[in-house]
């Protein structure tokens, strides 16, 4: 046994090994063992244990690092697990295994002194029991997938507010209480139609199929949950039976599978409309949360009230704007603009008429001047006279008159009667 590893605390120096108590019964409060010594003694004791074959189910496996493999094995019957690690040849063998496989592993116990952690250092691993079954299930999966039983377009959406849930589970099973309790905590008015069936063993497939068909034919059932707690790979085999999978795919009512734990898988999970990781998870996903729905309703009411308030305030502002307009406070202002238009039009009309009259007057004056200039009266005004016979003929030549002939002389200011004395 070597000296204790690691530096001593400041101000302290480790005792030499020959000064420490040799046996555990020799230790005292004043003379204890350091942790490193106890861990080393554990290691030495474990190293004397013989190798062994152990059997269990792989619940975790990590072979990502080349040359090493890390597994967690769970007991087939008890909720007990152990860490397994191995290198080189064991790591190569472990790459052929998957989560859920039942195996036997050979190795020796080992204790890591650094953290005083016990593990199982393995050198060989073999499959037992379920290898053929897993291959059969995988073949069935490929067959049913090829028939379209797992296609997404065949999935039925779950109702948003179911009134009755059909529950298939074992009698007096913990899964039944988990589903009902959690569902009613979220949605107190939910009702249940519970059908008990065997959930493992040879009676499981026919009873589960019968339960699915019974609940699917009930028009009061809105959604179906098939629930079972965790178990070994063999315990869950009934839910990978072909008849169960086909009944699930043919179910018209939305159906939820809640088989085992999150890491467990069965073929019913692929055919169901929804897979829940646990029965509790199924209850939470099938029914809405009352508190959440009340919050949604409250928020919707607040949004509606806010929108109505905004609309009322907007209409109020609009009415106030109309009421404060001059057209309503001083209606006569509505006539101001038309009155200005009339006044301006009258002014423009007066100006236009005046211009027309002036232009016409000027034209008349010009015409009058022209007529006056051309009128015989203007000639008379200059002292000339128009000589006419009594029958109105104008005398323009002496030959047109005779002696003693009466004539009329038209002058500027009137007519003069005269008689011809002689003419030349």
DSSP state letter for 164: E
SS3 of residue 168 by DSSP: strand
The pLDDT assigned to 406 comes to 84
Q: Do residues 334 and 327 lie in contact, with contact meaning Cβ atoms separated by under 8 Å?
A: yes
pLDDT tens per residue across all 424 residues of the chain: 444 444 555 446 777 877 888 888 889 998 899 888 889 888 888 889 999 999 888 888 998 888 899 999 888 777 788 999 999 999 999 998 888 788 899 999 998 888 888 889 999 998 876 555 677 788 899 999 999 999 999 999 999 999 999 999 999 889 999 999 999 999 999 999 999 999 988 899 999 999 999 999 999 999 999 999 887 777 888 999 999 999 999 999 999 999 988 777 899 999 999 999 999 999 999 999 999 999 999 999 999 999 999 999 999 998 888 878 777 777 777 788 888 899 999 999 999 999 999 999 999 988 888 887 777 777 777 778 888 888 888 888 888 888 888 888 888 788 888 888 876 5
Q: Beta-carbon neighbour count of residue 222 at 10 Å?
A: 19
> What is the DSSP track for 360-396?
HHHHHHHHHHHHHHH-HHHHHHTT--EEEETTSPBP-
Q: Beta-carbon neighbour count of residue 274 at 10 Å?
A: 19
The DSSP H or E segment spanning 69 is: strand 68-74
pTM of whole model > 0.75? no
Distances (CA, A) of 269 to 120, 210, 248, 355: 34, 18, 9, 103
Which residue in 55, 6, 61 sits closest to 34, CA to CA?
Answer: 6
SS3 of residue 71 by DSSP: strand
The pLDDT assigned to 263 comes to 78
Distances (CA, A) of 84 to 31, 68, 117, 171, 246: 36, 11, 12, 37, 39
The pLDDT assigned to 10 comes to 47
Q: How many helices (H) and strands (E) does the chain have?
A: 12, 13
The pLDDT assigned to 172 comes to 87
Break the chain down into helix, strand, coil percent, rounded to 5.
45, 20, 35
Q: How far is CA 348 from the centre of its chain?
A: 68
The pLDDT assigned to 265 comes to 85
The pLDDT assigned to 129 comes to 61
Is the C-alpha dihedral spanning 34, 36, 42, 44 positive or negative? negative
Specify burial of residue 331 (Cβ count, 10 A radius: 0-12, 13-18, 19+): exposed
């Amino acid at each position: 046994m070597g000296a204790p590893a690691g530096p001593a605390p400041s101000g302290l120096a480790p005792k030499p090994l020959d000064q420490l108590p040799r046996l555990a019964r020799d230790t005292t409060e004043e003379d204890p063992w350091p942790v490193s010594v106890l861990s080393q003694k554990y290691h030495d004791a474990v190293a004397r244990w013989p190798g062994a074959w152990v059997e269990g189910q792989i619940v975790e496996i990590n072979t990502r690092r080349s040359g090493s493999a890390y597994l967690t094995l769970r007991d087939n019957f008890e909720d007990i697990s152990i860490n397994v690690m191995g290198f080189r040849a064991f790591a190569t063998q472990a790459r052929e295994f998957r989560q859920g496989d039942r195996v036997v592993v050979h190795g020796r116990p080992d204790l890591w002194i650094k953290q005083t952690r016990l593990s199982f250092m393995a050198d060989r691993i073999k499959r037992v029991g379920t290898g053929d079954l897993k291959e059969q299930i995988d073949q069935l999966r490929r067959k049913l997938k090829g028939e379209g039983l797992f296609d997404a377009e065949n999935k039925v959406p779950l109702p948003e507010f179911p009134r009755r849930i059909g529950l298939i589970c074992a009698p007096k099973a913990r899964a039944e209480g988990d589903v009902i309790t959690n569902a009613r905590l979220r949605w107190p008015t939910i009702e249940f139609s519970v059908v008990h069936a065997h959930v493992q063993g040879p009676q499981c497939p026919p009873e589960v199929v019968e339960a699915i068909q019974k609940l699917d034919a009930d028009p009061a059932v809105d959604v179906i949950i098939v629930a079972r707690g965790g178990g070994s790979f063999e315990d869950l085999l009934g839910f990978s039976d072909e008849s169960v999978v086909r009944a699930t795919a043919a179910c018209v009512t939305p159906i939820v599978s809640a088989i085992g734990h999150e890491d467990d898988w069965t073929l019913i999970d692929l055919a169901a409309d929804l897979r829940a990781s646990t029965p509790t998870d199924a209850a939470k996903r099938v029914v809405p949360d009352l508190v959440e729905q009340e919050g949604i309703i409250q928020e919707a009411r607040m949004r509606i009230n806010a929108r109505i308030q905004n609309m009322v305030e907007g209409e109020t502002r609009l009415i106030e704007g109309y009421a404060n307009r001059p057209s309503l406070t001083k209606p006569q202002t509505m006539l101001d603009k038309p009155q200005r238009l009339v006044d301006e039009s009258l002014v423009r009309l007066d100006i236009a008429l005046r211009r027309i009259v002036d232009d016409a007057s000027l034209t008349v004056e010009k015409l009058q001047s022209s007529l006056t200039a051309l009128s015989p009266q203007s000639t008379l005004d200059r002292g000339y006279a128009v000589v006419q016979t009594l029958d109105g003929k104008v005398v323009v030549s002496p030959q047109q008159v005779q002696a003693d002939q009466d004539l009329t002389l038209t002058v500027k200011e009137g007519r003069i009667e005269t008689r011809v004395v002689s003419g030349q």
